Protein backbone atom coordinates (compact mmCIF):
# COMPACT_ATOMS: atom_id res chain seq x y z
CA UNK A 1 0.00 0.00 0.00
CA UNK A 2 1.55 3.29 -1.12
CA UNK A 3 1.32 6.23 1.28
CA UNK A 4 2.30 9.75 0.20
CA UNK A 5 4.51 11.90 2.42
CA UNK A 6 3.26 14.94 4.33
CA UNK A 7 2.54 18.26 2.68
CA UNK A 8 2.84 21.79 4.07
CA UNK A 9 -0.20 23.77 5.23
CA UNK A 10 -2.30 25.97 2.89
CA UNK A 11 -0.42 29.16 3.72
CA UNK A 12 3.01 27.62 3.12
CA UNK A 13 2.49 27.02 -0.61
CA UNK A 14 1.87 29.45 -3.45
CA UNK A 15 -0.25 28.40 -6.44
CA UNK A 16 1.98 26.76 -9.02
CA UNK A 17 4.81 26.10 -6.52
CA UNK A 18 6.21 22.58 -6.30
CA UNK A 19 5.85 20.96 -2.91
CA UNK A 20 8.85 19.30 -1.29
CA UNK A 21 7.57 16.51 0.87
CA UNK A 22 9.08 15.04 3.99
CA UNK A 23 10.60 11.63 3.20
CA UNK A 24 9.79 10.07 6.59
CA UNK A 25 6.64 8.00 6.88
CA UNK A 26 5.78 9.37 10.33
CA UNK A 27 4.29 12.53 8.83
CA UNK A 28 1.56 11.16 6.57
CA UNK A 29 -0.93 13.52 5.00
CA UNK A 30 -4.58 13.22 5.78
CA UNK A 31 -6.55 12.12 2.75
CA UNK A 32 -9.51 14.36 2.01
CA UNK A 33 -12.80 13.03 3.34
CA UNK A 34 -15.73 12.12 1.14
CA UNK A 35 -17.67 15.07 2.59
CA UNK A 36 -14.97 17.63 1.75
CA UNK A 37 -14.53 16.25 -1.75
CA UNK A 38 -18.28 16.14 -2.35
CA UNK A 39 -18.72 19.74 -1.15
CA UNK A 40 -15.79 20.93 -3.29
CA UNK A 41 -17.31 19.21 -6.35
CA UNK A 42 -20.72 20.69 -5.52
CA UNK A 43 -19.26 24.22 -5.23
CA UNK A 44 -17.30 23.80 -8.47
CA UNK A 45 -20.50 22.62 -10.19
CA UNK A 46 -22.36 25.71 -8.95
CA UNK A 47 -19.56 27.95 -10.29
CA UNK A 48 -19.55 26.17 -13.65
CA UNK A 49 -23.33 26.16 -14.08
CA UNK A 50 -23.46 29.85 -13.17
CA UNK A 51 -20.74 30.63 -15.72
CA UNK A 52 -22.52 28.58 -18.40
CA UNK A 53 -25.85 30.23 -17.62
CA UNK A 54 -24.44 33.77 -17.79
CA UNK A 55 -22.64 33.10 -21.08
CA UNK A 56 -25.78 31.57 -22.59
CA UNK A 57 -28.03 34.43 -21.46
CA UNK A 58 -25.63 36.92 -23.05
CA UNK A 59 -25.38 34.83 -26.22
CA UNK A 60 -29.14 34.40 -26.59
CA UNK A 61 -29.78 38.10 -25.98
CA UNK A 62 -27.19 39.03 -28.59
CA UNK A 63 -28.72 36.63 -31.12
CA UNK A 64 -32.22 38.13 -30.67
CA UNK A 65 -33.87 34.71 -30.45
CA UNK A 66 -37.42 35.24 -29.24
CA UNK A 67 -38.68 31.67 -29.46
CA UNK A 68 -37.25 28.25 -30.16
CA UNK A 69 -38.78 25.64 -32.38
CA UNK A 70 -38.18 21.97 -31.63
CA UNK A 71 -35.30 21.84 -34.14
CA UNK A 72 -33.73 24.98 -32.71
CA UNK A 73 -34.24 23.67 -29.18
CA UNK A 74 -32.28 20.52 -29.95
CA UNK A 75 -29.46 22.61 -31.41
CA UNK A 76 -29.56 24.93 -28.40
CA UNK A 77 -29.32 21.98 -26.00
CA UNK A 78 -26.26 20.65 -27.83
CA UNK A 79 -24.74 24.12 -27.68
CA UNK A 80 -25.40 24.32 -23.93
CA UNK A 81 -23.93 20.87 -23.34
CA UNK A 82 -20.85 21.63 -25.47
CA UNK A 83 -20.24 24.94 -23.75
CA UNK A 84 -20.60 23.44 -20.28
CA UNK A 85 -18.39 20.45 -21.13
CA UNK A 86 -15.67 22.70 -22.57
CA UNK A 87 -15.84 25.08 -19.62
CA UNK A 88 -15.58 22.19 -17.14
CA UNK A 89 -12.68 20.58 -18.97
CA UNK A 90 -10.80 23.89 -19.08
CA UNK A 91 -11.67 24.83 -15.48
CA UNK A 92 -10.53 21.55 -13.93
CA UNK A 93 -7.43 21.24 -16.13
CA UNK A 94 -6.19 24.80 -15.65
CA UNK A 95 -6.85 25.10 -11.92
CA UNK A 96 -5.65 21.62 -10.92
CA UNK A 97 -2.61 22.02 -13.19
CA UNK A 98 -1.81 25.41 -11.63
CA UNK A 99 -1.65 24.75 -7.91
CA UNK A 100 -3.79 21.65 -7.41
CA UNK A 101 -6.92 23.47 -6.24
CA UNK A 102 -10.15 24.50 -7.88
CA UNK A 103 -12.23 27.21 -6.20
CA UNK A 104 -14.29 24.54 -4.43
CA UNK A 105 -11.19 22.68 -3.26
CA UNK A 106 -9.64 25.92 -2.01
CA UNK A 107 -12.79 26.73 0.01
CA UNK A 108 -12.90 23.21 1.44
CA UNK A 109 -9.17 23.14 2.29
CA UNK A 110 -8.15 20.25 0.06
CA UNK A 111 -5.56 19.89 -2.68
CA UNK A 112 -4.69 17.46 -5.48
CA UNK A 113 -1.11 16.18 -5.51
CA UNK A 114 0.72 13.57 -7.57
CA UNK A 115 1.37 10.23 -5.90
CA UNK A 116 5.03 11.26 -5.59
CA UNK A 117 3.99 14.45 -3.75
CA UNK A 118 4.80 16.83 -6.61
CA UNK A 119 2.48 19.39 -8.10
CA UNK A 120 0.09 17.95 -10.68
CA UNK A 121 1.19 18.70 -14.25
CA UNK A 122 -1.25 20.09 -16.82
CA UNK A 123 -1.11 16.73 -18.63
CA UNK A 124 -2.13 14.84 -15.48
CA UNK A 125 -4.76 17.49 -14.75
CA UNK A 126 -6.24 16.99 -18.23
CA UNK A 127 -6.32 13.20 -17.81
CA UNK A 128 -7.94 13.71 -14.40
CA UNK A 129 -10.57 16.03 -15.94
CA UNK A 130 -11.40 13.42 -18.59
CA UNK A 131 -11.55 10.86 -15.78
CA UNK A 132 -14.23 12.97 -14.07
CA UNK A 133 -16.51 12.22 -17.01
CA UNK A 134 -15.82 8.49 -16.83
CA UNK A 135 -16.27 8.56 -13.03
CA UNK A 136 -19.72 10.12 -13.46
CA UNK A 137 -20.93 7.96 -16.36
CA UNK A 138 -22.30 5.06 -14.34
CA UNK A 139 -24.21 6.67 -11.47
CA UNK A 140 -21.04 8.33 -10.12
CA UNK A 141 -19.57 4.96 -9.14
CA UNK A 142 -16.11 6.26 -10.11
CA UNK A 143 -16.45 8.86 -7.34
CA UNK A 144 -17.94 6.45 -4.81
CA UNK A 145 -15.11 3.90 -5.00
CA UNK A 146 -13.08 6.21 -2.76
CA UNK A 147 -15.24 4.97 0.11
CA UNK A 148 -13.74 1.48 -0.36
CA UNK A 149 -10.18 2.55 -1.20
CA UNK A 150 -7.53 2.66 1.54
CA UNK A 151 -6.00 5.82 -0.03
CA UNK A 152 -9.42 7.42 -0.67
CA UNK A 153 -8.74 7.49 -4.41
CA UNK A 154 -11.51 7.84 -6.96
CA UNK A 155 -11.33 6.38 -10.46
CA UNK A 156 -9.98 9.67 -11.85
CA UNK A 157 -7.34 9.82 -9.08
CA UNK A 158 -6.13 6.33 -9.99
CA UNK A 159 -6.23 7.15 -13.71
CA UNK A 160 -4.10 10.29 -13.26
CA UNK A 161 -1.87 9.10 -10.42
CA UNK A 162 -3.08 11.62 -7.85
CA UNK A 163 -4.27 11.91 -4.27
CA UNK A 164 -6.51 14.54 -2.71
CA UNK A 165 -5.28 15.63 0.70
CA UNK A 166 -6.42 18.05 3.39
CA UNK A 167 -4.26 21.14 3.75
CA UNK A 168 -5.71 22.71 6.86
Please write the tens of the pLDDT for every residue from 62-104.
776 656 565 677 777 888 899 999 999 999 999 999 999 999 9
What is the per-residue pLDDT across 13-63, written as a single tens digit (0 to 9) for each? 555 554 444 333 335 789 999 999 999 999 999 999 999 999 888 887 777
What is the per-residue pLDDT across 115-159, written as a single tens digit (0 to 9) for each? 999 999 999 999 999 999 999 998 999 999 999 999 999 999 999
Question: What string of DSSP letters covers 52-120?
Answer: HHHHHHHHHHHHT-----HHHHHHHHHHHHHHHHHHHHHHHHHHHHTTS--HHHHHHTEEEEETTSSPP
Domain residue limits, the chain: 34-166
Contact 108, 40 (CB under 8 A): yes
Helix, strand, or coil here: 151?
A: coil
Answer whether residue 6 shows pLDDT above 60: no
Amino acid sequence: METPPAIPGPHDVSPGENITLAPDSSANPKYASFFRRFMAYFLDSVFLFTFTFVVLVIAFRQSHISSLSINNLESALWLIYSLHFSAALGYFTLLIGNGGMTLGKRIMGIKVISVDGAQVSFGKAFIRAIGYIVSALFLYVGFLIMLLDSNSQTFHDKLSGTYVVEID
